[in-house]
A and B are shown apart, each in its own frame.
Chain A
Amino acid sequence: GAGVSQSPRYKVAKRGQDVALRCDPISGHVSLFWYQQALGQGPEFLTYFQNEAQLDKSGLPSDRFFAERPEGSVSTLKIQRTQQEDSAVYLCASSLEVASSSQYFGPGTRLTVL
């Protein structure tokens, strides 16, 4: 496909469950970002990968959040022991280069924690 894809598009989890959210960036894109977007808010930065290296994870809200990109393409955001405050849309974006590049966003995964 030509764009960034994310799966699942919707996820409902019971509090305490672990979830894994997948992002397929545009082929060849070096940079990959994860964001959390609460209802009515702008995206909040979570973490950044340059190829397989996680260069910045300062936005991850707690140690329950973990992201990986082992081969420098597909990325997974994992949330352990989900809490109700984790309910949000999780966005993935990729860009061709680093620093100041335009990002291409996926459609997001809407996570609802009951």
Chain B
Amino acid sequence: AQSVTQPDIHITVSEGASLELRCNYSYGATPYLFWYVQSPGQGLQLLLKYFSGDTLVQGIKGFEAEFKRSQSSFNLRKPSVHWSDAAEYFCAVATRSNDYKLSFGAGTTVTVRA
């Protein structure tokens, strides 16, 4: 079955420390991969996306993600976290065979401590 897994429900990180959020997917077709962020009470903001080409993708707010086909992963990273990065992060997958409908992981909540 097609699925998107975010293994970490909640991560706490100190301000200034690095952050890595994991995302694994299970799809037969070539996936298109996205990371969205949601602040409390808000909608989803697109951080970055991967379609093809360079497997290291740069996004907004200093985030980057790396696509690893062999591991079926698309992990999100940020070298130095700011307090404003506290939010919920969602990994999403779309495929051409599924008409580009987004399938989301369960999300990872990031808490930033001073």
Q: Do A and B come from one complex?
A: no
